[in-house]
């Protein structure tokens, strides 16, 4: 009798979720972006939201929840009802860097958030300004080895993905560039162009206009192969710095316990959107590559990214509390 009652209770709990998955969506879906408007994450989210609205038959509304390096927005997704009506953008910062460098987060990225799909991969880039006095990676490495901590590098902030990328470069090249944190990539890029700092590590989209305009020189890109927008710039792997050769990525997540049927439907709709010519063109103009992989594949990638950045944070001693 006890087993029968437990079975009936379980069925009662699961029935609403099953019914929800079958009828979903019947109202607008909120897409939380954990960063301010105008950045790469926001651009990709809005590009996807417009087309997902058509695919899913309900509006997908972007909701920017910036702050704490993306932790505020990610926490909002983690604590939302698991009914498919709240999803969020995931990035290297929110799902790998933050858990690695912050002593405490109000959510667990692996336990509280369900991976949906990696939407886009975007190259990272290392640039130098006119004040660096170098024009190639060998010259830069030689100058940095000759005078440790004389050359400086800027990032969007302490504990950011770019900060860890800079420390990974230091380890791989056996040099010591001095970190100068900024409140975003824009002021770091401006100071590099003005000769106030020497090097900037950044996502390609925000650096690309200055590279193409001749105001910054790209030393290397973090990408599987040379990119069409900068065909003369080697990858970090080609420069002998393979550990630095990782792209950034942007994906979708949902609250944990969101029905798999809903997660799979969002993934399928996202993959269809990413395959359209206009969306591909928008992403490629950012130097990105559409992905749209399965939830299980994205979950495996997230675990690997988190492990990698935890190890890097440990070896570089970067901690934020």
> Which residues of the chain does CATH 3.40.190.10 include?
124-244
Nearest to 263 by CA among 295, 288, 236: 295
pLDDT confidence of residue 22: 79
Q: Rounded to whole angstroms, how far apart are CA atoms 202 and 286?
A: 13
Instruction: Report whether 162 contacts 96 (CB < 8 A).
Output: no
Question: Please, what is the angle between helix 295-316 and helix 161-173, to 10°?
Answer: 60
Q: What is the pLDDT of residue 157?
A: 77
Least Cα distance to 93 among 31, 148, 40, 29 occurs for 40
Q: What is the pTM of this model?
A: 0.79
Residue 63 has pLDDT above 70, yes or no: yes
* Buried b / exposed e along 281-303 (16+ C-beta atoms within 10 A): ebbeebbbbbbbbbbeebbebbe
Query: Rounded mean pLDDT of 247-267?
Result: 97
H-only helix segments in 231-274: 260-274
Q: Tell me which fold the domain 26-122+247-316 belongs to.
A: D-Maltodextrin-Binding Protein; domain 2 (3.40.190)
Q: Please state, rounded to an integer, the average pLDDT across all residues of the chain.
A: 90
Any bridge partners for residue 251, and if so which?
90, 118
Query: Does position 39 have pLDDT exceeding 80, yes or no?
Result: no
| CA angle, residues 236, 249, 46, in degrees to nearest 5 | 135
Residue-wise pLDDT for 79-113, tens only, equals 999 999 999 999 998 999 999 988 789 999 999 99
* pLDDT, mean of residues 252-265: 98
Give the mean model confidence (pLDDT) for residues 261-267.
98
Q: What's the pLDDT score for residue 1?
A: 57
How many angstroms separate the Cα of 64 from the Cα of each of 32, 33, 36, 102, 162? 6, 5, 6, 22, 22
* pLDDT for 37 beyond 70: yes
Is the model's pLDDT at 13 over the cut of 80? no
- Domain 124-244: CATH superfamily, name plus number: Periplasmic binding protein-like II (3.40.190.10)
Task: Return the bridge partners of 320, or none.
Answer: 102
The pLDDT of residue 186 is: 84
**CA dihedral sign of residues 304, 310, 313, 315:** negative
The residue-averaged pLDDT of 69-75 equals 90
- pLDDT band of residue 36 (cuts 50, 70, 90) is confident
pLDDT tens digits, 218-238: 999 999 999 999 999 999 999
Residue span(s) of the chain under CATH 3.40.190.150 come to 26-122+247-316
Strands (E), 92-145: 113-122, 124-128
Give the range among 103-107, 121-125, 277-281 with minimum mean pLDDT.
103-107
Q: How does pLDDT run across 132-171, given as a tens digit for each residue?
A: 999 999 999 999 999 999 999 998 877 788 888 998 999 9
Percent of the chain with pLDDT over 90: 70
Instruction: Name residues whose C-beta falls within 8 Å of residue 221's C-beta, 6 or more positions apart in sequence.
Output: 123, 124, 125, 126, 204, 227, 230, 233, 234, 235, 236
């Amino acid at each position: 009798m006890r087993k029968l009652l437990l079975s009936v209770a379980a069925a009662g709990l699961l029935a609403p979720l099953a019914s929800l998955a079958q009828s979903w969506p019947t109202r607008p879906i909120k897409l939380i972006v954990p960063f301010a408007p105008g950045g790469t994450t926001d651009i990709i989210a809005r590009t996807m939201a417009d087309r997902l609205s058509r695919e899913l038959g309900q509006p997908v509304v972007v909701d920017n929840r910036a702050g704490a390096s993306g932790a505020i927005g990610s926490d909002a997704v983690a604590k939302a009802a698991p009914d498919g009506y709240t999803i969020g953008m995931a990035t290297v910062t929110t799902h790998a860097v933050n858990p690695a460098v912050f002593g405490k987060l109000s959510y667990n990225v692996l336990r509280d958030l369900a991976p949906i799909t990696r939407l886009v991969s975007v190259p990272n880039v290392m640039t130098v300004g006119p004040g660096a006095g170098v024009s190639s990676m060998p010259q830069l490495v030689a100058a940095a080895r000759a005078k440790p901590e004389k050359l400086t590098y800027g990032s969007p902030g302490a504990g950011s993905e770019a900060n860890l990328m800079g420390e990974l470069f230091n380890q791989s090249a056996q040099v010591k560039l001095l970190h100068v944190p900024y409140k975003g990539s824009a002021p770091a890029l401006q100071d590099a162009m003005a000769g106030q700092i020497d090097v900037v590590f950044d996502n390609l989209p925000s650096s690309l206009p200055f590279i193409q305009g001749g105001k910054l020189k790209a030393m290397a890109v973090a990408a599987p192969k040379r990119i069409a927008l900068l065909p003369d710039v080697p990858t970090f792997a080609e420069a002998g710095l393979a550990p630095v050769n990782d792209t950034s990525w942007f994906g979708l997540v949902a609250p944990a316990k969101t029905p798999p049927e809903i997660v799979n439907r969002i993934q399928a709709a996202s993959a269809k959107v990413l395959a359209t010519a206009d969306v591909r063109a928008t992403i490629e103009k950012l130097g990105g590559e559409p992905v749209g992989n399965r939830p299980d594949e994205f979950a495996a990638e997230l675990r690997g990214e988190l492990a990698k950045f935890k190890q890097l944070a440990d070896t570089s001693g970067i901690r934020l509390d």
